[in-house]
Amino acid sequence: MPDNPYRHLPGLDALLARPDILPLINEFGREPVRDEARALLDAIRADIRAGGSAPSEDEIVVRLQDLTRAHLAPSLTPVINATGVIVHTNLGRALLSDAAQQAMMAVARSYSNLEYDLPAGKRGSRYVHAEDMLTRLTGAEAALVVNNNAAAVNLVLRTLAAGKEVIISRSELVEIGGGFRIPDILAQSGAILVEVGTTNRTRLADYENAVTERTGLLLKVHQSNYRIIGFTAEATLAELVQMVQDIPWPASIHVVNDLGSGTLLDTRAYGLAYEPTVQDSINAGADVVTFSGDKLLGGPQAGIILGRKEIIDELKRQPLTRAYRVDKTTLAALQATLMAYLRGTAAEEIPVWRMISAPAEELERRARAWANALADAGARIELLPGGSAVGGGSLPGQTLPTTLLAVGCPHPQRLLTALRACSPPVIARVQEDWVVFDPRTILPAQEKILLKAIRDVLAILQ
């Protein structure tokens, strides 16, 4: 009689009783692993009915391990960013400082005074925790923290300009990540969009001619993720503030500046082009300034709103603010990040600024050490000059000089795919026919892991 291939398959309980399945059960639970095992055995039986052969029990165990982890393991996982893009939106934007991580853990594992006034012994407000630091650093009268900058802009518009006209230059109708556009935010807020000027030139007179008794707000949006060059003109923030002050009839028109990324440090000190600082906007007289917490600030995801006290108080009373409020861990990380600025140690403590300020010679030394370590890996290894990007919609077109570790192979995309399958995944990029790795965004603690991943992948692909 012909051999029955189904007889070679283990029973479900026998498969789950194997010692090499026990770690899987401990990690994911018996019932989820049991469901995966049952589905796998059913699939194998279906394959046998179609003419396939029965795999060995060891092969079944490996497939069960792979499938269980693929289906049940958390999808959010750390990766090694070898792209050289410092504030990489797709890879989680800004890395948090050690102090910020410790602050988050401290309030996560204990009760806290998130909304408790300790001196008064009664209910307090979560919005006081970072406000004093923000006003000290920027000179603003008051501050409010919400969950991201899109929420910050929407909240400001909904509170100050619902049903009113908002004047904005056509050159500043930006689109941020995910196809989210300034006109969309305006529509959601109930404000009426009034475009002025042209794509490349918007003069102060364009704003003056557009102001009516229905105008509620002038919105100036920093072109943080693109540049318009050549025959250009724009009204400055200070000019818009003065224009509103000079309006002859009684009017309540606010000037709002959305900086997008937002920086507290002068980027020119690090060899980059000028990026307007938050302090510049406050000093220019803006009624409200909004920016992100997880870009050039180098903190957690947050939207930060600064401005005149009566406006910030009105925003705090807005019912929508509750929907945009931030968690205790966000406030803890933000406070720890701001403390580095208050101490004057941001460039040393905050990863974004450490990476921006990394000396070119140090990057070259690290890349050379990697090349030496991979000299016997069986692939072409070279060092190439390159440029790192700040990213996160900041300083478009600006690069920082770096030295790239370049690995040559016949099929670069296959190498990239294999690197992404490593644990942790390695995200690199292709430059010409090379797969390149930028030391600027690779942490020193990740170097050995990176080199092992490259060596292992090259050994498989050869």
Give the C-alpha separation, 245 to 243, whole Å: 5
Considering the chain, what percentage of its residues have pLDDT values greater than 90? 78
| pLDDT reported for residue 225 | 62
Give the C-alpha separation, 330 to 327, whole Å: 5
Task: Give mean pLDDT, residues 102-119.
Answer: 96
Residue found under tokens 């190439």: 384
343 burial via Cβ count (<10 Å: 0-12, 13-18, 19+): exposed
pLDDT bucket at 1, cuts 50 / 70 / 90: very low
| pLDDT reported for residue 410 | 85
Phi/psi class of residue 257: alpha, beta or left (left: φ > 0; alpha: ψ in -120 to 50)? beta
In whole numbers, what is the pLDDT of the chain averaged over residues? 92
- The answer to whether the CB of 323 falls within 8 A of the CB of 86 is no
For the segment(s) 96-348, the CATH number from 3.30.70.1150, 3.50.50.60, 3.40.50.11540, 3.40.640.10 is 3.40.640.10
Does this chain's domain 80-89+354-461 share its CATH topology with 96-348? Answer: no
Number of neighbours of residue 347 by Cβ within 10 angstroms:
17
- The answer to whether the CB of 155 falls within 8 A of the CB of 127 is no
Give the C-alpha separation, 453 to 422, whole Å: 7
| pLDDT reported for residue 304 | 98
Give the residue, 461 or 160, on which the prediction is more confident: 160
User: What does each C-alpha distance from 52 to 3, 41, 43, 141, 146 come to in angstroms?
Assistant: 13, 13, 11, 74, 57
Domain borders along the chain are 5-72, 80-89+354-461, 96-348
Give the C-alpha separation, 282 to 290, whole Å: 11
Name the β-bridge partners of 384: 404
| pLDDT reported for residue 418 | 95
Strand duo 254-260 + 116-117: pairing: unpaired
**Is the pLDDT confidence value at 444 over 50?**
yes
User: What does each C-alpha distance from 213 to 36, 159, 242, 249, 253 come to in angstroms?
Assistant: 66, 18, 18, 9, 9
Which tokens is 406 given?
Answer: 């370049």
**Is the pLDDT confidence value at 117 over 70?**
yes
| pLDDT reported for residue 176 | 66
Geometric angle at alpha carbon 268, from 147 and 170, rounded to 5° = 55
| pLDDT reported for residue 179 | 59
- Lowest mean pLDDT, pick from 65-69, 94-98, 391-395: 391-395
Give the C-alpha separation, 262 to 293, whole Å: 8
The CA-to-CA distance between both ends of the chain, in Å, stands at: 44
- The answer to whether the CB of 57 falls within 8 A of the CB of 14 is no
In the CATH scheme, what architecture does the domain 80-89+354-461 have?
A: Alpha-Beta Complex (3.90)
Task: Give mean pLDDT, residues 257-261.
Answer: 92
| pLDDT reported for residue 248 | 80
Give the C-alpha separation, 278 to 280, whole Å: 5
| pLDDT reported for residue 182 | 78
State the maximum Cα–Cα separation within the chain, in Å, rounded to a whole number: 104
Considering the chain, what percentage of its residues have pLDDT values greater than 70? 97
**Is the pLDDT confidence value at 139 over 60?**
yes
| pLDDT reported for residue 180 | 66
Instruction: List own/partner pairs for 410-415 with CB under 8 A and 24 or more apart.
Output: 411/461, 414/461, 415/457, 415/458, 415/461
| pLDDT reported for residue 8 | 83
**Is the pLDDT confidence value at 413 over 50?**
yes
- Name residues whose C-beta falls within 8 Å of residue 319's C-beta, 6 or more positions apart in sequence: none
32 burial via Cβ count (<10 Å: 0-12, 13-18, 19+): middle
**Is the pLDDT confidence value at 181 over 80?**
no
Number of neighbours of residue 248 by Cβ within 10 angstroms:
5
**Is the pLDDT confidence value at 394 over 80?**
no
Instruction: List own/partner pairs for 347-354 with CB under 8 A and 24 or more apart.
Output: 347/265, 349/97, 349/98, 349/99, 350/94, 350/97, 350/298, 350/299, 351/94, 351/95, 351/96, 351/97, 351/298, 352/86, 352/87, 352/94, 352/95, 352/295, 352/296, 352/298, 353/265, 353/270, 353/298
User: What does each C-alpha distance from 175 to 181, 292, 294 come to in angstroms?
Assistant: 4, 15, 18
Strand duo 288-292 + 303-307: pairing: antiparallel
pTM of the model: 0.90
